[in-house]
Amino acid sequence: MLYRKLGDSDIEVSEISLGSWLTFGEGVERDQTEACTRAAFDAGINLFDTSNAYGRGTAEQVWGEILSDFDRESFVLATKVFFPMSEEDRGLSRAQIHKQLDASLARLRTDYVDLYQCHRPDPETPIEETMEALTEVCDAGKVREIGFSEWTIEQIQAGLDVPGARKFVSSQPQYNMIWRAPEAELIPFCAERGISQIVWSPLAQGVLTGKYRPGEEHPPDSRARSDAMGWAMDRYLTDEVLGAAQRLVPIAEGAGLTMAEMALAWVLREENVASAIIGASRPEQVHANAEASGVELSQDVLDAIDEALGGVVVRGPALAAFVQEGVKHR
């Protein structure tokens, strides 16, 4: 496993990280969660990414139980805040950031998180209030560094412009061979400002492993067949996209790689990407994905990927789900 620096911080993260969206605490049982977590440590993975919203706290709670068996300084723990935790509790106000962080720390059984991320922007709250609150929790020793997920360029710049506020070191966008929207503006913008990408869905929720075929039923043990885990896959499950993914199979075989290794190596070819978050329901998936660390793709392979995917690639700037544009000031 190779490691990369997280933005301008002194934190080093593994090129492959383990996430808990749609899986741990929801679609995957505790025994499997523990097996995947232990496999991650065995593979050299040190970054574990979750959110208070995953399973309304259950993902954090399960990881809090499991990770308490490990030396706290041996791993980098990241969580998030924004999405509703109750009818009243949501957003990025000062009160919510303090309240939700304390609840996350209790569930995670730790005194601090290494990275606290704004899960989406909150244009209903003054950006100054959000950034000041994030600075306060850093000053209190509860958070080492801060980041955001799926903010617009305008919103990121507004956060960076708040006087005396803690600076963002990470961005968490969706990014993969098909969804290349971050390349248009986000990645160049962040690279100039010492902000790294920690990307989610690098395998397009499993589609880039090649296991889903156009016109065929999805494998019985796959994410797409799960009510708990398959609801967010519609964009990738069209025959056009699945057919394009199948055209990648001989390219990976010719390069001596699995489809997952090639997809993860493609994401990691971008220097501004610090880590690619994988999801897993079995420990063997963790080990297989970890093999992508350090893999370099030749230009011929990169060109062949572009040709195979053709018109299914999303290249221009695009808003993620649940993102509201705009910035509110005091």
At 50, give phi and psi (nearest 5°): -140, -165
Rounded distance between C-alpha atoms, residue 59 and residue 64, angstroms: 8
DSSP H or E stretch at residue 5: strand 3-5
At 80, list the tokens. 């998030």
Strands (E), 158-208: 168-171, 196-199
**Under 8 Å between Cβ of 24 and 53:** no
Task: Kindly report the length of the chain.
Answer: 330
Q: Is 116 a catalytic residue?
A: no
Across 142-176, b (16+ Cβ under 10 Å) vs e yields: bbbbbbbbbbbeebbebbeebeebbbbbbbbbbbb
Residue 228's DSSP bridge partners are none
Give the 3-state DSSP-derived string for 68-106, with helices as H, strands as E and coil as C. CCCCHHHCEEEEEECCCCCCCCCCCCHHHHHHHHHHHHH
Rounded distance between C-alpha atoms, residue 252 and residue 256, angstroms: 6
Q: Which residues are catalytic?
A: 54
